[in-house]
Structure 1
């Protein structure tokens, strides 16, 4: 098979974990290591190593400054709203700062995580505090109250779809300060827990947006990753299906459906770039073009369509700058008349020259079209044409038109790649 092959027959593009072959001594042969063996110790070390990449220094600084500002404001609010207690032992309002620190880590460092979203943080912290107070008031044994508070808080958070790991620390801290919490009662869950969590989240929303991060979590659009109806190479996946995939893999607490859609879209874009590595648009584009200028009457454009048997004509200014595309469909849409059904479309277009106010190319051309350069990979060009919104793609050098690729050109290139000359 020639380079690239047919789009629908590309098993080499499938994303999978390569299978390893048993080396016979507890090791495995790395299929990419030219026979090198991966020992069990190395695999264990790799499994216990870092699971996330190191963020850029600017991102680390951004998250740390935001968390510091938010926690400082929460500390002042805790002091202002501190409920007077007479019981001995640690003040429960001060212990609240510890789990809020974990909330700040999520809200500022990983604001796209479902665990960091306002609903999860606000409801999770509040309901965990309520559970903790209820356990303190009903269970006398400290050893039983500690485990029971965290267990019930986790159940409540999961039932409310408000899973927030730091909230378990609030439930635990409530039990650890049982004597003081008994005097405050259930009001502790609302002030300071609910109040301070809300303040921290407001700071997170403002700070993240000011520094270029999206928070709260981006909700899925009605289409992802492509509008329904587009016949592109990229699959149309419904939001409900994305959510089902995440739940099936146990990843719904780590990534949202909207972010998964963005990852899928980016992955398909990258795959398109490498679909025909080494083949660029400049190798298949047509350079000897039939063009029109913006002021050309539609009657003349119709003559060009009939004379050259083409379906798309680029519109170029006298300075060579690309202006737009005119297709046969554009002409039909503008000049179609219900009377005279016996006349063909091109005949009616040719008669339009007799009209006083005959439209020109600039009146009907499509200005917003996808364009590429001579160095655009062929895979990206395929993806653009496969969307079905345009019949041809202009090739530009800066703003100047240097070529055009039609679907016919693309089909010919694919056929040549699939059946290269000189092969049997």
Structure 2
């Protein structure tokens, strides 16, 4: 087996994992466990307990620092899952002798309770066994100290560590940027589609539904961008732009807009360069010259990616983009209708 082949065997198994993130996860887990054990030791009644930490915290640290976006790594599942499960384990220790059956029932009830209370946390299964093995001699304080205390300190460490590293914890799903193609339109999916698909699959996924929606929307954007990344503004633009001069009276612009059935006209200076734009909306005010009513024009170069115009249409309420040369002289125009024709053609 070659050296490169061996390296491939150690590639991260998590999607999106990087060497930097995995290294930070190791460091964060180390700090979290050290502080949890130290604080637990300070709270121990026995002075010989220099460290007091329960084994499930090791598994919790993996979730909190390696996959902090997981729904099962959030503060309530981490704290509630460990405490409730440990409480169930202690309860079984008080009412049943230690046996294979009591171990199975303790874990079963812990999973059920965590599911009902929306705090499902895999290490909670181990916490239930720890409570059971603590035996009937342990009190019901055990799930709070050290189990609950360990979990609280570990979550606090995770919160501070991820904040210092610029990461998102507790997880708040980040929506994909709006670009006119990621809204609920016939050719894309909606939240109802997502819920229906998850129900049809019938399996649980360790990712928040909103995170999954945002991720798929980004994938959708990338796929559409790749499909149209060869298009430039020159490919879409209509030649023969109607225009008015800055010194023209407003009535000239109104007549041209109505007769030519266009939404906006570029306003040119004496040298033919675009200095603004005007539409019927601006013409409601009284004025003697077009330049008194014009508003900023949205422009682009012929070689600019046509895909970049979608954001202007979607979020800036731009309906017309004028294509100009290096001296800002109009050479064409791209409207929403032009892009809609391209998208419709691509989906047919």
Instruction: Name structure 1 gaps, 5 residues minimum.
Output: 1-48, 336-348, 420-424
Q: What SS class does the counterpart of residue 125 from structure 2 fall into?
A: helix
Selected match of 1:199 from 133, 146, 153 = 153
Please say if residues 273 and 377 of structure 1, whose CA atoms lie closer than 8 Å, have aligned partners that are also in contact.
no
Displacement after TM superposition at 1:114 (Å): 0.9
**Residue in structure 1 matched with residue 77 of structure 2 by the alignment:** 120
Displacement after TM superposition at 1:80 (Å): 1.2
State yes or no: 1:162 paired with 2:119.
Answer: yes
TM-score by length of 2: 0.75
Please say if residues 113 and 253 of structure 1, whose CA atoms lie closer than 8 Å, have aligned partners that are also in contact.
no
List aligned pairs for 1:178-197, cutoff 5 A.
178=135, 182-197=136-151
**Residue in structure 2 matched with residue 65 of structure 1 by the alignment:** 27
**Cα separation, partners in 2 of 1:313 and 1:82, compared to 1, 3 Å:** farther
List aligned pairs for 1:66-85, cutoff 5 A.
66-84=28-46
**Cα separation, partners in 2 of 1:354 and 1:374, compared to 1, 3 Å:** closer
Q: What SS class does the counterpart of residue 112 from structure 1 fall into?
A: coil
Selected match of 2:287 from 350, 353, 357 = 353
**Residue in structure 1 matched with residue 5 of structure 2 by the alignment:** none
Selected match of 1:391 from 303, 319, 333 = 319
State yes or no: 1:255 paired with 2:212.
Answer: no
Quick one: distance in 1 between partners of 2:247 and 2:26? 59
**Cα separation, partners in 2 of 1:186 and 1:247, compared to 1, 3 Å:** farther
Displacement after TM superposition at 1:188 (Å): 0.9
**Residue in structure 2 matched with residue 215 of structure 1 by the alignment:** 169
Deviations 1:194-253 (A, max 9, x none): 2221121122122212322211122598x99899x9675663623x65345434434544
Superposition CA RMSD, Å: 4.6
Q: What SS class does the counterpart of residue 333 from structure 2 fall into?
A: strand
State yes or no: 1:376 paired with 2:305.
Answer: yes
Figure out how many residues of one structure are paired with residues of the other and give that number: 335
State yes or no: 1:279 paired with 2:231.
Answer: yes
> In terms of mean alpha carbon deviation, does 396-405 or 117-126 score higher?
396-405
List aligned pairs for 1:234-313, cutoff 5 A.
235=188, 237-238=190-191, 242-250=194-202, 252-276=204-228, 278-286=230-238, 289-290=241-242, 301-302=253-254, 304-306=256-258, 309-313=261-265
Q: What SS class does the counterpart of residue 353 from structure 1 fall into?
A: coil
Instruction: Name structure 2 gaps, 5 residues minimum.
Output: 1-10
* Higher RCO (CA 8 Å, separation ≥ 6 residues): 1
Quick one: distance in 2 between partners of 1:214 and 1:304? 54
Quick one: distance in 1 between partners of 2:104 and 2:70? 27
Please say if residues 295 and 361 of structure 1, whose CA atoms lie closer than 8 Å, have aligned partners that are also in contact.
no
Q: What SS class does the counterpart of residue 405 from structure 1 fall into?
A: strand
**Residue in structure 1 matched with residue 92 of structure 2 by the alignment:** 135
Please say if residues 299 and 323 of structure 2, whose CA atoms lie closer than 8 Å, have aligned partners that are also in contact.
no
Please say if residues 291 and 313 of structure 1, whose CA atoms lie closer than 8 Å, have aligned partners that are also in contact.
yes
Please say if residues 87 and 140 of structure 2, whose CA atoms lie closer than 8 Å, have aligned partners that are also in contact.
yes
**Residue in structure 1 matched with residue 6 of structure 2 by the alignment:** none
Please say if residues 110 and 116 of structure 1, whose CA atoms lie closer than 8 Å, have aligned partners that are also in contact.
yes
Deviations 1:141-160 (A, max 9, x none): 33332222211111111111
Deviations 1:248-274 (A, max 9, x none): 434544111211221221122123213
Quick one: distance in 1 between partners of 2:63 and 2:271? 54
**Cα separation, partners in 2 of 1:386 and 1:137, compared to 1, 3 Å:** same
Please say if residues 106 and 128 of structure 2, whose CA atoms lie closer than 8 Å, have aligned partners that are also in contact.
yes
Quick one: distance in 2 between partners of 1:293 and 1:68? 70
